[in-house]
Structure 1
Amino acid sequence: MDVVLECPLTEQILASFATVIGKDLPGYRNHIYRVLSFYSALNPQDRPLSCAVQIAAAFHDLGIWTHGTLDYLAPSIQLARAFLAERGELQLAEQVSALIEQHHKLRPYRQAHAASVEAFRQADTIDVSLGLLNFGLPRPFIVEVQARYPDQGFHWMLARASARQLLRTPLRPLPMFRW
Protein backbone atom coordinates (compact mmCIF):
# COMPACT_ATOMS: atom_id res chain seq x y z
CA MET A 1 0.00 0.00 0.00
CA ASP A 2 1.34 3.35 -1.05
CA VAL A 3 0.30 6.85 -0.14
CA VAL A 4 -0.94 8.75 -3.22
CA LEU A 5 1.50 11.60 -3.70
CA GLU A 6 0.28 13.44 -6.77
CA CYS A 7 -2.74 13.73 -9.02
CA PRO A 8 -2.21 16.48 -11.59
CA LEU A 9 -5.81 16.33 -12.82
CA THR A 10 -7.14 16.75 -9.27
CA GLU A 11 -4.69 19.61 -8.68
CA GLN A 12 -5.87 21.34 -11.87
CA ILE A 13 -9.49 21.19 -10.74
CA LEU A 14 -8.66 22.40 -7.23
CA ALA A 15 -6.66 25.31 -8.64
CA SER A 16 -9.68 26.44 -10.66
CA PHE A 17 -11.81 26.55 -7.48
CA ALA A 18 -9.13 27.85 -5.09
CA THR A 19 -10.75 31.26 -4.68
CA VAL A 20 -14.16 29.76 -3.89
CA ILE A 21 -12.74 27.24 -1.39
CA GLY A 22 -10.57 29.96 0.15
CA LYS A 23 -8.93 29.27 3.50
CA ASP A 24 -10.36 25.72 3.53
CA LEU A 25 -8.31 24.70 0.46
CA PRO A 26 -5.39 23.05 2.33
CA GLY A 27 -7.80 21.02 4.46
CA TYR A 28 -9.96 19.98 1.49
CA ARG A 29 -6.91 19.14 -0.60
CA ASN A 30 -5.53 16.93 2.16
CA HIS A 31 -8.94 15.28 2.62
CA ILE A 32 -8.94 14.44 -1.10
CA TYR A 33 -5.44 12.95 -0.94
CA ARG A 34 -6.32 10.92 2.15
CA VAL A 35 -9.42 9.60 0.36
CA LEU A 36 -7.42 8.80 -2.78
CA SER A 37 -4.75 7.01 -0.73
CA PHE A 38 -7.35 4.90 1.09
CA TYR A 39 -9.20 4.29 -2.19
CA SER A 40 -6.02 3.10 -3.87
CA ALA A 41 -5.35 0.69 -1.00
CA LEU A 42 -8.92 -0.63 -1.06
CA ASN A 43 -9.09 -0.93 -4.86
CA PRO A 44 -5.54 -1.77 -6.04
CA GLN A 45 -6.86 -2.77 -9.50
CA ASP A 46 -7.45 0.94 -10.19
CA ARG A 47 -3.77 1.90 -10.42
CA PRO A 48 -2.78 4.31 -11.68
CA LEU A 49 -5.88 6.12 -10.49
CA SER A 50 -8.50 6.46 -13.21
CA CYS A 51 -9.51 9.89 -14.48
CA ALA A 52 -13.05 9.27 -13.23
CA VAL A 53 -11.85 8.75 -9.65
CA GLN A 54 -9.48 11.73 -9.75
CA ILE A 55 -12.26 13.98 -11.07
CA ALA A 56 -14.83 12.67 -8.59
CA ALA A 57 -12.38 13.16 -5.73
CA ALA A 58 -11.86 16.81 -6.63
CA PHE A 59 -15.58 17.51 -6.98
CA HIS A 60 -17.12 15.19 -4.36
CA ASP A 61 -17.57 17.84 -1.62
CA LEU A 62 -17.12 20.99 -3.70
CA GLY A 63 -20.77 22.05 -3.44
CA ILE A 64 -20.15 22.83 0.24
CA TRP A 65 -18.26 25.93 -0.92
CA THR A 66 -19.86 26.72 -4.27
CA HIS A 67 -23.42 26.48 -2.93
CA GLY A 68 -22.82 27.09 0.78
CA THR A 69 -24.72 24.03 1.97
CA LEU A 70 -24.34 20.49 3.29
CA ASP A 71 -26.94 19.47 0.71
CA TYR A 72 -24.07 19.49 -1.75
CA LEU A 73 -24.25 16.23 -3.70
CA ALA A 74 -26.37 17.52 -6.61
CA PRO A 75 -24.36 20.77 -6.97
CA SER A 76 -21.10 18.80 -6.85
CA ILE A 77 -22.36 16.45 -9.57
CA GLN A 78 -23.46 19.41 -11.72
CA LEU A 79 -20.00 20.96 -11.42
CA ALA A 80 -18.32 17.68 -12.32
CA ARG A 81 -20.59 17.14 -15.33
CA ALA A 82 -19.89 20.66 -16.58
CA PHE A 83 -16.16 19.97 -16.25
CA LEU A 84 -16.53 16.68 -18.17
CA ALA A 85 -18.57 18.38 -20.91
CA GLU A 86 -15.94 21.10 -21.24
CA ARG A 87 -13.25 18.41 -21.68
CA GLY A 88 -15.35 16.32 -24.07
CA GLU A 89 -15.35 13.39 -21.63
CA LEU A 90 -19.06 12.89 -21.01
CA GLN A 91 -18.50 9.12 -21.27
CA LEU A 92 -17.21 9.37 -17.68
CA ALA A 93 -20.29 11.23 -16.41
CA GLU A 94 -22.20 8.16 -15.19
CA GLN A 95 -19.28 6.84 -13.14
CA VAL A 96 -18.22 10.24 -11.79
CA SER A 97 -21.83 11.00 -10.83
CA ALA A 98 -22.18 7.66 -9.03
CA LEU A 99 -18.89 8.16 -7.18
CA ILE A 100 -20.04 11.55 -5.91
CA GLU A 101 -23.70 10.73 -5.27
CA GLN A 102 -23.01 7.52 -3.35
CA HIS A 103 -19.95 8.52 -1.31
CA HIS A 104 -22.09 8.97 1.83
CA LYS A 105 -24.21 5.87 1.28
CA LEU A 106 -24.71 4.07 4.57
CA ARG A 107 -25.04 0.58 3.09
CA PRO A 108 -22.81 -1.13 0.53
CA TYR A 109 -23.25 -0.01 -3.07
CA ARG A 110 -23.98 -2.78 -5.59
CA GLN A 111 -25.01 -1.09 -8.83
CA ALA A 112 -23.08 0.15 -11.89
CA HIS A 113 -19.38 0.83 -11.22
CA ALA A 114 -19.68 -0.97 -7.87
CA ALA A 115 -15.97 -1.71 -7.42
CA SER A 116 -14.89 1.92 -7.69
CA VAL A 117 -17.96 3.44 -6.02
CA GLU A 118 -17.81 1.11 -3.02
CA ALA A 119 -14.06 1.62 -2.54
CA PHE A 120 -14.52 5.40 -2.82
CA ARG A 121 -17.41 5.30 -0.32
CA GLN A 122 -15.30 3.31 2.13
CA ALA A 123 -12.27 5.55 1.62
CA ASP A 124 -14.29 8.68 2.39
CA THR A 125 -15.82 6.98 5.44
CA ILE A 126 -12.36 6.08 6.74
CA ASP A 127 -11.32 9.70 6.50
CA VAL A 128 -14.50 11.25 7.88
CA SER A 129 -14.41 8.82 10.82
CA LEU A 130 -10.74 9.73 11.44
CA GLY A 131 -9.84 6.10 10.85
CA LEU A 132 -12.21 4.66 13.44
CA LEU A 133 -13.88 2.75 10.62
CA ASN A 134 -11.11 1.14 8.57
CA PHE A 135 -12.68 -1.46 6.23
CA GLY A 136 -9.70 -3.73 6.83
CA LEU A 137 -6.94 -1.21 6.15
CA PRO A 138 -4.07 -1.58 8.62
CA ARG A 139 -3.94 1.11 11.31
CA PRO A 140 -0.27 1.94 10.56
CA PHE A 141 -1.19 2.76 6.94
CA ILE A 142 -4.06 5.01 8.04
CA VAL A 143 -1.73 6.81 10.46
CA GLU A 144 0.89 7.19 7.72
CA VAL A 145 -1.67 8.77 5.37
CA GLN A 146 -2.96 11.06 8.12
CA ALA A 147 0.59 12.16 8.94
CA ARG A 148 1.40 12.86 5.28
CA TYR A 149 -1.85 14.80 4.79
CA PRO A 150 -2.80 16.45 8.11
CA ASP A 151 -6.35 17.58 8.76
CA GLN A 152 -5.69 21.34 8.56
CA GLY A 153 -9.12 22.14 9.97
CA PHE A 154 -11.17 20.03 7.55
CA HIS A 155 -13.07 18.07 10.20
CA TRP A 156 -13.65 21.21 12.27
CA MET A 157 -15.10 22.92 9.18
CA LEU A 158 -17.44 19.93 8.73
CA ALA A 159 -18.51 20.12 12.38
CA ARG A 160 -19.30 23.85 12.08
CA ALA A 161 -21.20 23.32 8.82
CA SER A 162 -23.14 20.43 10.37
CA ALA A 163 -24.12 22.59 13.35
CA ARG A 164 -25.36 25.35 11.02
CA GLN A 165 -27.31 22.78 8.97
CA LEU A 166 -28.92 21.38 12.13
CA LEU A 167 -30.09 24.85 13.13
CA ARG A 168 -31.46 25.59 9.64
CA THR A 169 -33.13 22.24 9.00
CA PRO A 170 -33.45 20.26 12.24
CA LEU A 171 -35.53 17.55 10.56
CA ARG A 172 -32.89 17.03 7.89
CA PRO A 173 -29.55 17.66 9.64
CA LEU A 174 -27.31 15.61 7.32
CA PRO A 175 -28.91 15.77 3.85
CA MET A 176 -25.89 14.27 2.11
CA PHE A 177 -26.40 10.79 3.58
CA ARG A 178 -28.04 8.09 1.47
CA TRP A 179 -29.44 4.69 2.47
Structure 2
Amino acid sequence: MSETYNERIDEILEDYREVIGSDFPGYRNHCIRMAEICDLLQATDEEDRHKIAIAAAFHDIGLWTANTLDYLPPSVPPAVQYLEKHGLEDWSDEVSAMILEHHKLRPVDSASSYLVELFRKADLVDFSKGLVRFGLSRAKYSRLVETYPNAGFHKMLVRMSCCWFVRHPLNPLPMMKW
Protein backbone atom coordinates (compact mmCIF):
# COMPACT_ATOMS: atom_id res chain seq x y z
CA MET A 1 0.00 0.00 0.00
CA SER A 2 1.31 3.41 -0.94
CA GLU A 3 1.99 5.93 1.79
CA THR A 4 2.25 8.50 -1.01
CA TYR A 5 -1.43 8.10 -1.84
CA ASN A 6 -2.44 8.31 1.81
CA GLU A 7 -0.38 11.45 2.41
CA ARG A 8 -1.46 13.25 -0.75
CA ILE A 9 -5.13 12.37 -0.44
CA ASP A 10 -5.17 13.20 3.28
CA GLU A 11 -3.49 16.56 2.63
CA ILE A 12 -6.11 17.49 0.01
CA LEU A 13 -9.14 16.18 1.87
CA GLU A 14 -8.24 17.82 5.17
CA ASP A 15 -9.54 21.13 3.77
CA TYR A 16 -12.90 19.40 3.14
CA ARG A 17 -13.22 17.45 6.39
CA GLU A 18 -15.86 19.78 7.82
CA VAL A 19 -18.04 19.91 4.69
CA ILE A 20 -17.83 16.11 4.21
CA GLY A 21 -18.65 15.61 7.87
CA SER A 22 -19.46 12.10 9.07
CA ASP A 23 -18.94 10.73 5.54
CA PHE A 24 -15.25 11.67 5.72
CA PRO A 25 -13.76 8.27 6.71
CA GLY A 26 -15.75 6.42 4.06
CA TYR A 27 -14.91 8.89 1.30
CA ARG A 28 -11.24 9.05 2.28
CA ASN A 29 -10.96 5.27 2.20
CA HIS A 30 -12.81 5.08 -1.14
CA CYS A 31 -10.34 7.60 -2.62
CA ILE A 32 -7.33 5.64 -1.37
CA ARG A 33 -8.78 2.31 -2.54
CA MET A 34 -9.38 3.81 -5.99
CA ALA A 35 -5.84 5.12 -6.23
CA GLU A 36 -4.39 1.80 -5.11
CA ILE A 37 -6.59 -0.07 -7.59
CA CYS A 38 -5.14 2.08 -10.39
CA ASP A 39 -1.67 0.82 -9.45
CA LEU A 40 -2.86 -2.77 -9.17
CA LEU A 41 -4.46 -2.66 -12.62
CA GLN A 42 -1.51 -1.00 -14.35
CA ALA A 43 1.96 0.12 -13.36
CA THR A 44 2.19 3.90 -13.03
CA ASP A 45 5.07 6.32 -12.56
CA GLU A 46 5.39 8.96 -9.85
CA GLU A 47 3.86 11.77 -11.92
CA ASP A 48 0.86 9.61 -12.81
CA ARG A 49 0.42 8.59 -9.17
CA HIS A 50 0.38 12.27 -8.25
CA LYS A 51 -2.35 12.95 -10.85
CA ILE A 52 -4.31 9.91 -9.65
CA ALA A 53 -4.16 11.10 -6.02
CA ILE A 54 -5.45 14.55 -6.96
CA ALA A 55 -8.24 13.20 -9.17
CA ALA A 56 -9.19 10.64 -6.51
CA ALA A 57 -9.46 13.25 -3.77
CA PHE A 58 -11.72 15.48 -5.86
CA HIS A 59 -13.65 13.01 -8.03
CA ASP A 60 -16.83 12.94 -5.88
CA ILE A 61 -16.28 16.10 -3.80
CA GLY A 62 -19.27 17.83 -5.42
CA LEU A 63 -21.54 15.48 -3.47
CA TRP A 64 -20.79 17.68 -0.47
CA THR A 65 -19.55 21.01 -1.84
CA ALA A 66 -22.57 21.38 -4.16
CA ASN A 67 -24.88 19.10 -2.15
CA THR A 68 -26.04 17.28 -5.28
CA LEU A 69 -26.04 13.84 -6.84
CA ASP A 70 -25.24 15.60 -10.14
CA TYR A 71 -21.77 16.08 -8.72
CA LEU A 72 -19.35 15.56 -11.60
CA PRO A 73 -19.29 19.15 -12.96
CA PRO A 74 -19.07 20.72 -9.47
CA SER A 75 -16.18 18.40 -8.59
CA VAL A 76 -13.91 19.87 -11.27
CA PRO A 77 -13.44 23.52 -10.13
CA PRO A 78 -11.98 22.59 -6.72
CA ALA A 79 -9.53 20.24 -8.46
CA VAL A 80 -8.49 22.91 -10.97
CA GLN A 81 -8.07 25.47 -8.17
CA TYR A 82 -5.86 23.01 -6.30
CA LEU A 83 -3.76 22.38 -9.41
CA GLU A 84 -3.34 26.12 -10.04
CA LYS A 85 -2.43 26.77 -6.41
CA HIS A 86 0.31 24.14 -6.61
CA GLY A 87 1.70 25.15 -10.03
CA LEU A 88 0.27 22.06 -11.74
CA GLU A 89 -2.17 23.78 -14.10
CA ASP A 90 -0.72 21.82 -17.05
CA TRP A 91 -2.51 18.78 -15.59
CA SER A 92 -5.91 20.49 -15.49
CA ASP A 93 -7.35 18.98 -18.68
CA GLU A 94 -6.26 15.46 -17.80
CA VAL A 95 -7.38 15.56 -14.17
CA SER A 96 -10.68 17.18 -15.20
CA ALA A 97 -11.27 14.39 -17.74
CA MET A 98 -10.48 11.78 -15.09
CA ILE A 99 -13.16 13.30 -12.86
CA LEU A 100 -15.77 13.93 -15.55
CA GLU A 101 -15.48 10.49 -17.19
CA HIS A 102 -15.16 8.25 -14.15
CA HIS A 103 -18.83 7.17 -14.28
CA LYS A 104 -18.88 6.43 -17.99
CA LEU A 105 -20.43 3.00 -18.57
CA ARG A 106 -18.44 2.26 -21.72
CA PRO A 107 -14.67 2.47 -22.09
CA VAL A 108 -13.24 5.95 -22.52
CA ASP A 109 -11.30 6.70 -25.69
CA SER A 110 -8.01 7.10 -23.92
CA ALA A 111 -5.99 8.44 -26.85
CA SER A 112 -5.32 11.62 -24.89
CA SER A 113 -4.51 9.89 -21.59
CA TYR A 114 -4.54 6.29 -20.48
CA LEU A 115 -5.20 7.56 -16.95
CA VAL A 116 -8.78 8.55 -17.79
CA GLU A 117 -9.74 4.95 -18.61
CA LEU A 118 -7.63 3.50 -15.79
CA PHE A 119 -9.34 5.82 -13.31
CA ARG A 120 -12.79 4.86 -14.64
CA LYS A 121 -11.98 1.18 -14.18
CA ALA A 122 -10.66 1.72 -10.65
CA ASP A 123 -13.81 3.54 -9.58
CA LEU A 124 -15.99 0.80 -11.06
CA VAL A 125 -14.04 -1.88 -9.18
CA ASP A 126 -14.59 -0.08 -5.89
CA PHE A 127 -18.15 1.06 -6.60
CA SER A 128 -19.10 -2.55 -7.43
CA LYS A 129 -17.33 -3.72 -4.25
CA GLY A 130 -15.07 -5.90 -6.37
CA LEU A 131 -17.79 -7.60 -8.43
CA VAL A 132 -16.23 -6.00 -11.52
CA ARG A 133 -12.45 -6.39 -11.25
CA PHE A 134 -10.82 -6.06 -14.72
CA GLY A 135 -8.44 -8.89 -13.84
CA LEU A 136 -7.69 -7.73 -10.29
CA SER A 137 -7.72 -10.69 -7.95
CA ARG A 138 -10.47 -10.92 -5.36
CA ALA A 139 -7.78 -11.40 -2.68
CA LYS A 140 -6.02 -8.12 -3.54
CA TYR A 141 -9.28 -6.21 -3.50
CA SER A 142 -10.26 -7.81 -0.19
CA ARG A 143 -6.92 -6.75 1.34
CA LEU A 144 -7.57 -3.17 0.25
CA VAL A 145 -11.00 -3.20 1.89
CA GLU A 146 -9.50 -4.65 5.07
CA THR A 147 -6.87 -1.91 5.15
CA TYR A 148 -9.26 0.88 4.10
CA PRO A 149 -12.75 -0.17 5.25
CA ASN A 150 -15.90 0.99 3.53
CA ALA A 151 -16.97 2.95 6.63
CA GLY A 152 -20.49 3.46 5.32
CA PHE A 153 -19.48 4.92 1.94
CA HIS A 154 -21.84 2.75 -0.13
CA LYS A 155 -24.71 3.25 2.35
CA MET A 156 -24.24 7.01 2.02
CA LEU A 157 -24.44 6.70 -1.79
CA VAL A 158 -27.67 4.71 -1.54
CA ARG A 159 -29.13 7.22 0.93
CA MET A 160 -28.23 10.19 -1.27
CA SER A 161 -29.51 8.41 -4.39
CA CYS A 162 -32.88 7.69 -2.76
CA CYS A 163 -33.26 11.31 -1.66
CA TRP A 164 -32.34 12.49 -5.17
CA PHE A 165 -34.77 10.08 -6.83
CA VAL A 166 -37.72 11.38 -4.81
CA ARG A 167 -37.06 14.90 -6.11
CA HIS A 168 -35.85 13.93 -9.61
CA PRO A 169 -37.65 10.74 -10.69
CA LEU A 170 -36.97 11.37 -14.39
CA ASN A 171 -33.23 11.79 -13.82
CA PRO A 172 -32.37 9.16 -11.18
CA LEU A 173 -28.62 8.86 -11.82
CA PRO A 174 -27.42 12.18 -13.29
CA MET A 175 -23.75 11.33 -12.84
CA MET A 176 -23.86 8.26 -15.11
CA LYS A 177 -22.76 8.58 -18.74
CA TRP A 178 -22.95 6.30 -21.73
- State the TM-score, normalizing by the size of structure 1: 0.93
Q: Deviations over 1:24-70 (max 9, x none)?
A: 11000110111111111112133575322111010000000111111
Q: Which of 1, 4, 22 pairs up with 2:2?
A: 4
Residues 9, 32 of structure 2: 8 Å contact kept: no
In structure 2, the partner of 1:104 is 103
Q: Partners of 1:12 and 1:73 in 2: how far apart? A: 21
Question: Aligned AA for 2:34?
Answer: V
Q: Quick check: 13-22 or 48-57, which moved more?
A: 48-57
Residues 9, 28 of structure 2: 8 Å contact kept: no
Structure 1 unmatched ranges of 5 or more? none
Q: Deviations over 1:78-104 (max 9, x none)?
A: 111111122222101011001000000
Q: Partners of 2:162 and 2:81 in 1: how far apart? A: 30
Distance 1:11 1:60, change over 3 A: same
- For 1:56-71, what aligned pairs fall within 5 Å after superposition? 56-71=55-70
Secondary structure of residue in 2 paired with 1:178:
coil
Aligned pairs, number: 177
In structure 1, the partner of 2:27 is 28
Q: Partners of 1:159 and 1:10 in 2: how far apart? A: 24
Residues 94, 113 of structure 2: 8 Å contact kept: no
In structure 1, the partner of 2:73 is 74
Question: Aligned AA for 2:151?
Answer: Q
Q: Partners of 1:120 and 1:94 in 2: how far apart? A: 14
- State the TM-score, normalizing by the size of structure 2: 0.94
Residues 30, 153 of structure 2: 8 Å contact kept: yes
Runs of 4+ in 1 over 6 A off after TM superposition: none
Structure 2 unmatched ranges of 5 or more? none
Q: Partners of 2:88 and 2:113 in 1: how far apart? A: 20
Q: Partners of 2:112 and 2:27 in 1: how far apart? A: 25
